[in-house]
């Protein structure tokens, strides 16, 4: 897994992150989603490493990275806090400006990084996501039924108890679909009570402080300043629930393109070559 990459533990001002880095060329930061670790990129990163220096961290609160201290507003798990980690991590490796792609929950951190640190992000790719404030403002019975976990995970204590009663049954996954090493890395994460708590805190922050940050940006008319690529899974429900994904993102950026990929939600595992091709072309030409 990740042939030619090195594994590192990097201590930053506010977090300690487990990171894979490899390749050569322009810097590219890849952010995973829930409940994955950086290992979800193991089929994509080596392809991109032919052209780019690829950095794949476990987000704070996920995998084997540190879990922030609890606070009433969940600010330690906010996307703003994780965006600071992204910039500090890339600066640690000598990169003041970089390309950035995020999937699922990682897409919210990627979006927040581009919003808060526009001088640091040269291009942005959002995979299977729309801004949190848009998802919540569009919430109806269909969304609440399909994405009920957003609201369950926002409750105190009970989500962790439910997940940890049988993490394998809760999250599923298989070595066949994910790759044996990636699956074992994933299982280690979902069986760790501290990591499960950190992952759930990401959702608690999402419904509160993260939504507030999005609302503040929207009211101020702030937008993503760099080129934006939006990709979504054709066999997932993002488009069914929200309609034209590119049009939604045009409310947040002026230079937007996008398309769907013929796969389910975990696109880096299910369609790695197609995803790598789309990302490589985008980061190469913009």
Tell me whether residue 265 is one of the annotated catalytic residues.
Answer: yes
d(CA 44, CA 46): 6
Annotated catalytic residue: which of 58, 85, 104, 116?
Answer: 104
Contact 18, 88 (CB under 8 A): no
Tell me whether residue 191 is one of the annotated catalytic residues.
Answer: no
Decide the pairing of beta strands 16-23 and 6-11: antiparallel
Please give the C-alpha separations between residue 191 and each of 68, 174, 230, 254, in angstroms, as whole numbers.
Answer: 18, 15, 32, 42
Nearest to 276 by CA among 130, 119, 103, 131: 103
Nearest to 49 by CA among 19, 18, 17, 27: 27
CB atoms within 10 A of CB 69: 8
Conformation bin of residue 163: beta by default, left when phi > 0, alpha when psi is -120 to 50: alpha
Q: How many CA atoms lie within 13 A of 208 on its CB side?
A: 16
Placement of tokens 């992952």 in the chain: 199
Residues with Cβ < 8 Å from 234, sequence gap 6 or more?
A: 260, 261, 262, 263
Residues forming the active site:
104, 265
């Amino acid at each position: 897994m990740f042939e030619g990459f090195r594994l590192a533990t990097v201590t930053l001002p506010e977090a300690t992150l487990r990171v894979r880095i490899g390749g050569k060329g322009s810097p590219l930061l890849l952010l995973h989603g829930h409940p994955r670790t950086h290992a979800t990129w193991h089929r994509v990163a080596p392809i991109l490493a032919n052209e780019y220096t690829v950095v794949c961290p476990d987000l704070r609160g996920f995998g084997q990275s540190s879990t922030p201290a609890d606070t009433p507003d969940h600010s330690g798990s906010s996307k703003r806090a994780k965006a600071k980690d992204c910039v500090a991590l890339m600066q640690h490796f000598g990169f003041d400006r970089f390309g950035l792609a995020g999937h699922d929950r990682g897409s919210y951190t990627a979006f927040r990084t581009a919003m808060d640190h526009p001088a640091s992000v040269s291009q942005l790719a959002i995979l299977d996501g729309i801004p949190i404030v848009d998802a919540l403002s569009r919430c109806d019975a269909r969304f609440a039924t399909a994405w009920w976990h957003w609201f369950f995970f926002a409750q105190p204590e009970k989500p962790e108890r439910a997940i940890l009663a049988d993490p394998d049954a809760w999250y599923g996954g298989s070595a066949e679909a994910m790759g044996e090493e990636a699956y074992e890395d994933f299982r280690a994460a979902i069986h760790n009570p501290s990591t499960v708590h950190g992952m759930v805190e990401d959702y608690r922050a999402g419904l509160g402080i993260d939504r507030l940050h999005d609302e503040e940006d929207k009211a101020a008319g702030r937008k993503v300043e760099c080129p934006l690529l939006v990709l979504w899974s054709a066999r997932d429900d993002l488009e069914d629930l929200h309609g034209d994904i590119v049009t939604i993102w045009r409310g947040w950026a002026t230079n937007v393109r996008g398309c769907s990929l013929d796969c389910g939600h975990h696109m880096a595992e299910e369609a790695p070559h197609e995803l790598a091709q789309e990302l490589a072309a985008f980061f190469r030409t913009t």
